[in-house]
Homo-oligomer: A and B are copies of this chain.
Amino acid sequence: MAGPLPVSPLALKLPALPAVDGVRLAVGEAGIRYHGRADVLLAEFAEGTTVAGVFTKNLCPGAPVTWCREVLPGGTARALVVNAGNANVFNGVAGQRAVEATAGAAAKTLGVKPEEVFLASTGVIGEPMPAQKIVAVMADLAARLGGSDLAAAARAIMTTDTFPKAATRTARLGGVEVTIAGIAKGSGMIAPDMATMLSFIFTDAAVPSPALQAMLAKGVDHTFNCITIDSDTSTSDTVLLFATGQARNKPTDDPAHLADFRRALGEVLHDLAMAVVRDGEGAQKLVKITVDGAVSNHSAKKIGMAIANSPLVKTAIAGEDANWGRIVMAVGKAGEPADRDKLAIAVGGTWMAKSGGVVPGYNEAPVVAHMKGREIEIEVDIGLGQGRATVWTCDLTHGYIDINGSYRS
């Protein structure tokens, strides 16, 4: 990369972030790739912390993803180590050894079991992971654990991100107020070079790990799994949720009792996912696509993602062109039930196409004005059923080519 990227025009400011009881954080400079900035995060969790995780579906995952998948069924966590600069992907046996060395060092330093240490790495792939650089700063990180400076943590895990990402909510659970706070990084759905999506969410609630896992999986399905930058799928995407139990609510797995917690968790995940889209590589516009009238919610989401991933739709939006013809094409290529003659398309609330043709004499002025804005809304009515989904993406601009078409060195 040739110097830092300009901050995305869609960037959001960090919200005020609370401390989460039972979570202690420290960031440090391991110097893996970056210099003069924090590039490693250590989190220590109170005894009894439960954990849930969702990982990339990519079949060539990084060694840290394989590690987390192996230890997740244990259901408990005492530590998290995240580094930026090297993703430890496609390093063969050496990658596995680097993972074991990092987890082992954290476990020894904190006096916990290695299988209670979770790991995530983001950065270049196929370069040997210098785990010794993380091991070398472990004692110092442990000595400085304290407080809950989530803003510093959000910055330490950035790669090509142009702004740090965090979100927080409170919820009522078992008669007490609990806190949820999370951080994320990512500026493409992927980019094995640099732009993997990672998110870590912390709560002081007490929730058994199976219930935590169910809520996280469902929440991710409607948030992180409904965003796309370029259709590519990282080898390292990871979302982890840690619940320390320090709020002293009575643990429950009753869905009714967990309703407000689920709502708050969903909002945190939504905010973080939106922050990732807003930092899409080269993004100039945030695009919300709502598909209604599909034969099922699943079908609606597939159609939405076909629109969101279409290079032709995305370049049209970059050109501020409300090109509904390309949306028709994308609906048709999704492979889901659709009837050309029942399809309707609106941009910015104005229905441009209906019943298999352009709406005669529709007023183009509000559409033209809408396309010049930063936030674009597309609605598609398939006209066949009740299926509905909303997905988000960004436009495809020269900035994307600049970022991804440059030499690595």
Contacts and interface: CB of A to CB of B under 8 A. Distances in A.
A92 interface: yes
A310 interface: yes
B312 A232 contact: yes
B59 A329 contact: no
Given A90-B325, A318-B401, A319-B406, 19 more contacts: A57-B333, A58-B332, A59-B333, A59-B338, A89-B325, A92-B356, A125-B329, A190-B312, A192-B326, A193-B323, A231-B231, A233-B329, A233-B332, A234-B329, A320-B407, A321-B406, A321-B408, A397-B401, A398-B398
Interface residues on A, range: 35 or more
B332 A405 contact: no
B408 A340 contact: no
A60 B338 contact: yes
A331 B60 contact: yes
A124 B316 CA distance: 14
A167 to B, nearest CB: 27
B406 A340 contact: no
Contact of A235 (B94, B232, B329): B329
Counting every copy of the chain, the complex holds 2
A340 to B, nearest CB: 4
Contacts of A91: 356-357
Contact of A192 (B309, B312, B341): B312
Interface in A295-341: 309-312, 315-316, 318-321, 323-326, 328-338, 340-341
Contacts of A325: 89-90, 124-126, 192-193
Contacts of A252: none
Given A60-B343, A231-B311, A232-B311, A405 B316 contact: yes
A326 B195 CA distance: 12
A150 B232 CA distance: 41
Contact of A358 (B126, B309, B321): B126
A183 interface: no
A191 interface: yes
A196 to B, nearest CB: 10
